[in-house]
């Protein structure tokens, strides 16, 4: 039992050391996503092999393991474990790390909830929603369902706000002034007394769009005050 305990402690120490060495690298989001999943796979594998080796040191356990491996029962065990959702989630987590439909820091929408990918584990993925809550999604579901990803193909996303101004204002001048604080300004609707404009600005990767849209609204309000469109 003492030898078994020492083997488990050594395996745990080796796993922690390997995990620490891998985690020291500063990587871009796509590579970091693969590295984080790889870290968990390596850590789990080392600990599993260590515990299994420690158990085999005990004569009674070794004899029992030999009997199981020599029988057809092992086939049933393998099939039984492979059919479990936990194994499916682990496989899905590895596939997500390789194919990367989402990465750490991406702004995504899953099952109607929007948020920032905070952690991709072996079995579950954690997404931080704008109100600070965490949406925990099984990896198997992420691999099977559709995902809206605002930052997968480029490092920026778009912050967009909609405003209404009186048609009595100089719309061309308003649009021109707003072009100074945003990349895109469109007049999307026009009625007898109001014009609707959409203002869009690029959001740097890693910044939450909700905060960026708040900043954009403040900038638009200041600009409209300078133009005399709204009161001070």
Among candidate residues 56, 83, 110, the one where a domain is terminated: 83
Residue 232 lies in a domain: no
CATH number of the domain enclosing 201: 3.30.70.100
Q: Which long-range contacts (CB under 8 A, 24 or more apart) does 129-138 make?
A: 130/208, 130/210, 135/110, 135/111, 137/110, 137/111, 138/85, 138/89, 138/92
Residue 45 binned pLDDT confidence (cut-offs 50, 70, 90) = confident
What's the structural domain count of the chain? 3
Q: Do 120 and 58 fall within a single domain? A: no
Q: How far is CA 125 from CA 56, 75, 143, 164, 227, in A?
A: 34, 31, 11, 39, 47
pLDDT tens per residue, range 86-129:
778 888 888 888 888 888 888 888 888 888 888 888 888 989 88
Q: Do 143 and 161 fall within a single domain? A: no
pTM exceeds 0.75 for this model: no
Structural domain span for residue 122 = 101-149
pLDDT above 60: residue 174? yes
CATH number of the domain enclosing 137: 2.30.30.60
> CA-to-CA distance for 77 and 64, rounded, in angstroms?
14
Q: Do 169 and 214 fall within a single domain? A: yes
Closest CA to 15 of 34, 42, 33: 42
């Amino acid at each position: 039992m003492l030898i078994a305990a020492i083997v488990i402690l050594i395996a745990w120490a080796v796993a922690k050391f390997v995990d620490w060495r891998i985690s020291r690298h500063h990587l871009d989001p796509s590579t970091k996503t693969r590295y984080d999943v790889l870290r968990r796979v390596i850590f789990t594998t080392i600990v599993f092999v260590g515990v299994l080796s420690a158990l085999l040191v005990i004569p009674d356990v070794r004899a029992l393991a030999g009997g199981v491996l020599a029988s057809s029962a092992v086939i049933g065990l393998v099939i039984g474990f492979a059919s479990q959702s936990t194994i499916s989630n682990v496989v899905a987590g590895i596939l997500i790390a390789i194919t990367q439909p989402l990465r750490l820091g991406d702004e995504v929408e899953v099952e109607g909830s929007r948020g920032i990918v905070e952690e991709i584990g072996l079995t579950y993925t954690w997404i931080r929603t704008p109100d600070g809550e965490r949406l925990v999604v099984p990896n198997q579901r992420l691999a099977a369902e559709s995902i809206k990803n605002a930052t997968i193909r480029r490092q920026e996303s778009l912050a967009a706000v909609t405003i209404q101004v009186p048609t009595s204002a100089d719309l061309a001048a308003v649009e021109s002034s707003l072009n100074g604080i945003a990349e895109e300004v469109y007049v999307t609707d026009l009625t007898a007394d109001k014009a609707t404009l959409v203002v869009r600005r690029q959001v740097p990767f890693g910044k939450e769009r909700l905060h960026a849209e708040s900043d954009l609204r403040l900038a638009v309000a200041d600009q409209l005050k300078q133009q005399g469109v709204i009161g001070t």
